[in-house]
Structure 1
Amino acid sequence: MSSMIHLSADGWCARVDDDAVDDDLARIADAAGTFWAQASPGAIVYVAFDTRPDAERLACLAGRILAGHGLVAKVADRFTPVPALAWTIANDQRACGGLMVTGSQRPYDYVGVRIYTADGVSPTREVSDELELLIEPEPASVFGGIQRTDIATSYLDNLYASVDGDAIAHAGLSVLYDPLYGAGRLHLPMVMSALGIDVTEIHGEFDDDAIDLHPEPVEPWVDDCERAVVETGACAGFITDSDADRMSAVDERGRYVSPRMIATLVLKHLVEYRGEKGRVVLGVSASALTRRVAKALGCRVVMKPTGFEHIYKEALKGDVLLGVEGRTGICIPSHMIERDGLHVALILCELMAKTDKTLAQLVDEVEREYGAMAYAVRDLRVENEVSEIFRTMLPGLNPHTVAGREPVAVSHMDGLRLEFDDESWVLLRPSRMDPVVRVYAEAPTVQERDRLLEAGCEIARGEALDSGMQ
């Protein structure tokens, strides 16, 4: 019996040893083909893939199914970063969308597919729901021919031109790049080398360690990069996930630089050194530090629910300088509406070149001027019935105190977000797909952050309902 397929914000994913992987991916490609053929008969669809062992074969399968619907299926001729796919779709008026075969941040024994619309962004929840309804119980049996296409080169040329090449070339930067065996490998070093950056790549070619590594640019998966930066004397290290839309960094001291701090540095650079203006769109789980800096720089701040689709919608309206989610990346609409970890890495190189400062110096400057903030997320697994009770009660939750502190602002825009007088906050969001409540917290100290995290978990488990809710 065919399984039900649900499409999340990152599409669909399964273990490669699941016997139904080929059939399920084919069913999704068939649904996408039906959707696009109805809306744009004969249009172009692009299909790309990351470095996973089966990704290219599955991309060709998806392309043949899409071609069976009368669409022109152009399949990448080599592994390709997802920003290259998104950029290519958005810049081809004949394209109606595309597919990326990838497991994103999941380990390399997973594979899946992400869907992109004609704007080069992930579909809204409404479009994903419509696609789910089109998924048939059995895979397609009608196939067509595919065209193998270079999706990367035009994007890389644009990437090269997106930064100040003269400033970077004169800076003599030496950096380390860790693609975590993903699709950014070779591509980012090629652009960096052309810009005059001395770049060393680790975790490029697959080896025995690859299968156990989570290609997600967070600790502990960045530990090797932290050590290598110090050992090689690099001025910075950059880490991207499997499909290269998200990134983090390491400073020359071997300290992890989170995407939240990176977003703040990028924002300052865009305003102070490039003279750009616009709104800053933040998800409710984005750092208060970024909001604090945006206001200080005179940028209008817009808060949106979690999910990059809300940032995309704002970016499509225009006048957005930067879009930031808590854990899921950075969007610079003047470059492209989709997230692009490779572009952000180059922006940081441009920032170091123009200021003649190291990454550690830039981070320290921000924290001295605007204050440090400690941020963490905890995925709390609960029983199904506890999750349902919490979800039902959520709209009416209004705690008098949390961790002994009285909130100064309460928002139910996306879960329950409580903010305090020093801009520390805690956010509780039940997962749409799993019996998980995601608890976020940020505060000036690790100790206060952890108290807020634990208090949030108590609320999610129902342990504080009697005394803390009204």
Structure 2
Amino acid sequence: MERTTPIIRFGNDGWHARFDEGFDSQNVIRVADALGLLWADAAPDSGGSVYVGFDTRHRSEEFAREVAGAIASYGLAVKVSSSPCPTPVVGWNCAHDPKALGGVVITSSERSCEYGGLIVRGADGGACPREFLDKVEQEIFQQASTEAGPFEVADLTSPYVKALAEFVGEPVIRPLKVVVDPMYGSATGVLADLVRSLGHEVIEIHAEKLEDFDGIHPDPKDPWADACEQAVVATGADLGILVDGDGDRAAAVDEYGNILAVRELTPLLLSYMGGELGMRGRVVTTLTCSASVELEARRLGFEYTSVPVGFGRIYRELQEGDVLLGAEEYGGISIPAHLKERDGLLVSLLLIQMVSKSGLTLRELVNKLDAEIGSRRYIRRDVRLEPALTQAFRNVLPGLNPQEIAGRVPVEVSHADGLRLQFDDDSWVLMRPSRTDSVVRVYAEAPTARERDELLESACSIARGG
């Protein structure tokens, strides 16, 4: 079969495309062929295993079985989930099988219903190196093969759920009323049943099988979180929990129906793990995460590391083995003692346990933490430019070193991922050109909204060439 220049390009962890723009059986099998070829080459003489999962999207189960057949044709032992499953399920199964070569999940995570996706996981359930994904692209043939090997359909979710319950460990201290919103995604039923099994009352919404997701994006943030926020208030629930379409990210809603910002949720979880649970280790975040995480890590006496954007960069730190928590700006959190990948279901259980054990409400816990480390105001804005202007900004960025911005003098300047300026009160601003679009992403954080917005506007002006 003759190779051609691949038209399928991988993002950070896989391939995503609209169903009407190429996400179909032919192209899914082409990718599976490339994965099967590479994994078979890497397999020991005794063979290796591959795990395949799928979400609730259009034809996801069908695509998963086509992927399984194509990979199995290379002599590999393939197990396909018997039902829709969160992405962490596949990662966990890989991590607990010494013969695992990797995994595939048919999902497009938080994207709208028009998109399909194929996510790849490594042998330990974590992110695949960029070098491996580049090799996959290079091995994609022009035509899909017609070969299909035998594969096993198995319950991949139950062992994972049992492991989650054991990790959380303690029985319920104070029963709570919890609104669980799986956003029509692959955590439907799984998270709600698990929370019930731990002794809490659960109201599950957005749990029907609707391939159009009733018009929402399965992304746990406003405005898509509106229904969960309203349900918490209407039912008098103690809190609400949302997970995205493939279950690797979570968000929380307080008793007043307000969704917690990522800058609140991540340090709050860290406070619980390092304080109440007594867990220890290094904290790793991307450079674009809120300073609140670093401030809480310092308060707890933890070593703190920041890395450029992309969970793959965090994953490399997780492999060192001394990390307690890894977090990215969008709310993806990994607790490597459980899995070297993001897991929204585990984060959800820990947040519920924290509220249950504390005797406080979720908002009271946030306010308590703010009193200890200070409240922050965080924002991101995308500055869209002509392609030539974006490239020009990329070219000048390495030598850009403003002496002041918004009337403030930076105490630290970093070019590790764009340009990041740090100030003496832990305020900061970062300008980072997108790797794929004609956009400069600008981030700013400060103790007040006014100071934050001043930094943001000045940085946007710099990005535009002002």
| One-letter amino acid of the structure 1 residue matched with residue 155 of structure 2 | D
Q: How many residues align?
A: 461
Aligned match for 1:125, one of 107, 114, 130: 130
Cα contact 2:283–2:326 (8 A) shared by 1? yes
Report how far residue 317 of structure 1 moved.
Answer: 1.1
Distance of aligned partners of 1:46 and 1:425 in 2 relative to their CA distance in 1, 3 Å threshold: same
- Measured against aligned partners, the alpha-carbon deviations of 1:154-178 in whole angstroms (never above 9, x if no partner) come to 0000111111432x2x301110011
Cα contact 2:29–2:66 (8 A) shared by 1? yes
Residue 370 of structure 2 is aligned to residue 371 of structure 1: no
Aligned match for 1:53, one of 26, 36, 58: 58
Q: Find the aligned partners of 2:395 and 2:214 in 1 and give their Cα distance.
A: 40
| Local SS of the residue matching 2:192 | helix
- Match of residue 261 from structure 1: 264
Report how far residue 209 of structure 1 moved.
Answer: 6.5
- Match of residue 466 from structure 1: none
Q: Find the aligned partners of 1:56 and 1:360 in 2 and give their Cα distance.
A: 40
- Match of residue 450 from structure 2: 447
Alignment of 1:173-252 (within 5 A): 173-207=176-210, 210-252=213-255
Q: Find the aligned partners of 1:20 and 1:80 in 2 and give their Cα distance.
A: 20
Report how far residue 403 of structure 1 moved.
Answer: 2.0
| Local SS of the residue matching 1:273 | coil
Deviates further, 416-425 or 446-455: 446-455
Cα contact 1:14–1:21 (8 A) shared by 2? no
- Match of residue 81 from structure 1: 86
Alignment of 1:59-98 (within 5 A): 59-98=64-103
Aligned match for 2:434, one of 425, 428, 431: 431
Aligned match for 2:158, one of 145, 153, 161: 153
Q: Find the aligned partners of 2:389 and 2:214 in 1 and give their Cα distance.
A: 35
Q: Find the aligned partners of 1:73 and 1:435 in 2 and give their Cα distance.
A: 40
- Match of residue 349 from structure 1: 352
Cα contact 2:6–2:138 (8 A) shared by 1? no
| One-letter amino acid of the structure 1 residue matched with residue 14 of structure 2 | G
TM-score, with length taken from structure 1 = 0.95
Aligned match for 1:140, one of 139, 145, 149: 145
Q: Find the aligned partners of 1:76 and 1:208 in 2 and give their Cα distance.
A: 19
- Match of residue 395 from structure 1: 398
| One-letter amino acid of the structure 2 residue matched with residue 142 of structure 1 | E
Distance of aligned partners of 1:459 and 1:139 in 2 relative to their CA distance in 1, 3 Å threshold: farther
Cα contact 2:57–2:211 (8 A) shared by 1? no
Aligned match for 1:358, one of 339, 344, 361: 361
- Match of residue 33 from structure 1: 36
Q: Find the aligned partners of 1:370 and 1:420 in 2 and give their Cα distance.
A: 16
Report how far residue 206 of structure 1 moved.
Answer: 3.4
- Match of residue 171 from structure 1: 174
Where does structure 1 lack aligned partners over 5 or more consecutive residues?
464-470
| One-letter amino acid of the structure 2 residue matched with residue 377 of structure 1 | R
Distance of aligned partners of 1:133 and 1:240 in 2 relative to their CA distance in 1, 3 Å threshold: same
Report how far residue 2 of structure 1 moved.
Answer: 8.2
Cα contact 1:108–1:211 (8 A) shared by 2? no
| Local SS of the residue matching 1:256 | coil
Q: Report sequence identity in percent.
A: 44
Distance of aligned partners of 1:126 and 1:328 in 2 relative to their CA distance in 1, 3 Å threshold: farther
Q: Find the aligned partners of 2:135 and 2:6 in 1 and give their Cα distance.
A: 17
Report how far residue 130 of structure 1 moved.
Answer: 1.9
Q: Find the aligned partners of 1:22 and 1:393 in 2 and give their Cα distance.
A: 44
- Match of residue 291 from structure 1: 294
| Local SS of the residue matching 2:20 | coil
| Local SS of the residue matching 1:237 | strand
Q: Find the aligned partners of 1:318 and 1:3 in 2 and give their Cα distance.
A: 36
Q: Find the aligned partners of 1:217 and 1:55 in 2 and give their Cα distance.
A: 21
Report how far residue 381 of structure 1 moved.
Answer: 2.2
Report how far residue 105 of structure 1 moved.
Answer: 1.0
Cα contact 1:11–1:112 (8 A) shared by 2? yes
TM-score, with length taken from structure 2 = 0.96
Deviates further, 335-344 or 443-452: 443-452
Report how far residue 207 of structure 1 moved.
Answer: 4.3
| One-letter amino acid of the structure 2 residue matched with residue 138 of structure 1 | Q
- Measured against aligned partners, the alpha-carbon deviations of 1:419-455 in whole angstroms (never above 9, x if no partner) come to 1121111111112222222211111122222222222
Q: Find the aligned partners of 2:7 and 2:459 in 1 and give their Cα distance.
A: 33
| One-letter amino acid of the structure 1 residue matched with residue 15 of structure 2 | W
Q: Find the aligned partners of 1:111 and 1:460 in 2 and give their Cα distance.
A: 33
Aligned match for 1:8, one of 11, 26, 37: 11
Q: Find the aligned partners of 1:276 and 1:340 in 2 and give their Cα distance.
A: 18
Distance of aligned partners of 1:22 and 1:448 in 2 relative to their CA distance in 1, 3 Å threshold: farther
- Match of residue 386 from structure 1: 389
Q: Find the aligned partners of 1:78 and 1:335 in 2 and give their Cα distance.
A: 22
Report how far residue 43 of structure 1 moved.
Answer: 1.0
Q: Find the aligned partners of 1:459 and 1:33 in 2 and give their Cα distance.
A: 47
Residue 127 of structure 2 is aligned to residue 112 of structure 1: no
Cα contact 1:285–1:427 (8 A) shared by 2? yes
Report how far residue 240 of structure 1 moved.
Answer: 0.7
- Measured against aligned partners, the alpha-carbon deviations of 1:77-125 in whole angstroms (never above 9, x if no partner) come to 1000011111111111111001010011100111010000101012122
Q: Find the aligned partners of 2:425 and 2:231 in 1 and give their Cα distance.
A: 37
- Match of residue 304 from structure 2: 301
Report how far residue 348 of structure 1 moved.
Answer: 0.8
Aligned match for 1:419, one of 404, 419, 422: 422
- Match of residue 460 from structure 1: 463
